[in-house]
Amino acid sequence: MRPRVAISLAVVLATPLTIGGGAAAPISGSGAGSAGASLFAANRISRESPGPALAEFACPSGTLPEGPDVVCVHLPADDEGAPAAETQANAHRDRTGNWVVYDQIPRRPDRPEEYDSYRLPVACERRCVVSGYDLDRPDRLQRRGPGLSYVGHGAIDIAVARGTPVFVPKLEHQDGPAEVVYVGPLFGTTVVTLHSLREGAALREYLVLFAHLDAAAASVVAGKRVGADEPIGFVGDTGAPGLVHLHLEVRRVRAGVDVRALVRLSEGAGALVNDARTVACDPRNVLPLRVSSSVALP
């Protein structure tokens, strides 16, 4: 995947951008690293024939739009990686009133807060995340209720129709394809994939849990390697009757833990979400960014 993205960059940078009927102008970044994203005009890029500007798309600095669904893809470099995501301790009172201290990885400040800024693993336009990650919040602000099994939410819940296909995302700075490590009951019918991400100067392993599925895709079995956008299952309400949604959870594997061996332990799949072995992570740290259009297409 890396050479293909690099070639795309070379083509874009070497090709003049024609805006409207005027003279060709080179593409340039905005240079602002926070909310100031690099602007790329989604115009017909052609040496022969200029055309009207179709739209303007914004991708963060260091990324380019790619693919038919227009996803922001990081420009590859040998030493590139996401900033180190720091584990932080937090605490809350569980359902029995006990004070529980746990580790979690909050959203990095360089990542957008709005869930609509991210490409989700299901077809969804806007406002589909109905319950967000809150393990980084104070106890009084964490999710709880008589119908909930746990205090706090180390995942995001995405409300879409039953049977909606779920696809494997290519996470930010992912190195190689993902691998299915578990298919079966956990939070209802659940598929768990393992992803290697370049983070700082090292590769770190992350788990992605797709839970409450109506069913896993027929071809999905433990040990299978899956590429970006391959179907993983279908949205349902197993384990949460009447609440049709996708529970999407991301966990970073602790150093020295062999994820493939965890499911063979006596505790079974529950070992994958044991805080001593994996750490809950805000999904916004690793989900791919989507490109937003600032100009409506005619």
Output the six-digit token pair for 17. 């951008």
Domain match, 183 and 239 both: yes
pLDDT at 23: 38
Asked if residue 138 and residue 13 are part of one domain, the reply reads no
Establish if 55 belongs to a structural domain.
yes
Q: Which is higher by pLDDT, 149 or 188?
A: 188
Q: Is the same domain home to 167 and 251?
A: yes
CA–CA distance from 97 to each of 85, 92, 143, 237 (Å)? 30, 9, 14, 28
- 205: closest CA among 132, 135, 279, 109? 279
Whether residue 94 is found in the same domain as residue 69: no
Residue 205's DSSP bridge partners are 196
Q: How many domains does the chain have?
A: 2
The CATH number given to whatever domain includes residue 200 is 2.70.70.10
Alpha-carbon span 15 to 106, nearest angstrom: 40
Say yes or no: 8 and 134 in one domain: no
71/219 same-domain check: no
Last residue of a domain, one of 48, 78, 108: 78
Looking at the predicted structure, is the pLDDT value of residue 242 above 80? yes
* Residue 293 falls inside a structural domain: no
What is the chain's alpha carbon radius of gyration, rounded to the nearest angstrom? 21
Q: Is residue 295 part of a domain?
A: no
259 and 128 fall within a common domain: yes
- Cβ neighbours, 10 Å, residue 11: 10
How large is the average pLDDT for residues 128-150? 92
The answer to whether residue 147 sits within a structural domain is: yes
236, 188 Cβ separation under 8 angstroms: yes
Domain C-terminal end among 13, 47, 78: 78
Which residues form the domain of 28?
2-78
pTM: 0.72
Tokens of 216: 């896993």
Question: Is the pLDDT confidence value at 43 over 60?
Answer: no
Q: Which of these, 79, 83, 128, lies nearest to 105 by C-alpha position?
A: 83
CA distance 10 to 85: 30
- Of 6-20, 99-113, 195-209, 210-224, which range is least confident? 6-20
Element (H, E) at 13: helix 2-14
- For the chain, the average pLDDT equals 80
Q: Which two tokens stand for residue 298?
A: 């005619």
Same domain, 192 and 263: yes
Dump pLDDT digits (tens) for 93-138: 998 999 999 999 999 999 999 999 999 999 998 899 999 999 999 9
Do residue 31 and residue 127 come from a single domain?
Answer: no
For range 40-50, the mean pLDDT: 32
* Angle at the Cα of 29 from the Cα atoms of 124 and 282, rounded to 5 degrees: 40
Q: How far apart are CA 115 and CA 108, in angstroms?
A: 14
On whether residue 296 sits in a domain, the answer given is no
Question: Which residue in the block uniquely carries the two structure tokens 């024939």?
Answer: 49
pLDDT value at residue 269: 93
In this structure, the answer to whether residues 11 and 107 fall within a common structural domain is no
- 78 versus 183: which is more confidently predicted? 183
Confidence at residue 292, expressed as pLDDT on a 0 to 100 scale: 59
CB 197 within 8 A of CB 286: yes
Same domain, 216 and 268: yes
Query: Distance between CA atoms of 133 and 75, rounded to whole angstroms?
Result: 28
Q: Is residue 40 part of a domain?
A: yes
Residues 30 and 169 in one domain: no
46, 78, 110 - which closes a domain? 78
Residue 290 falls within a domain, yes or no?
A: no
* SS3 (DSSP) at 140: helix
234 in any annotated domain: yes
Could you tell me the CA-to-CA distances from 72 to 37, 154, 172, 288, 294 in Å, in that order? Answer: 11, 25, 9, 7, 15
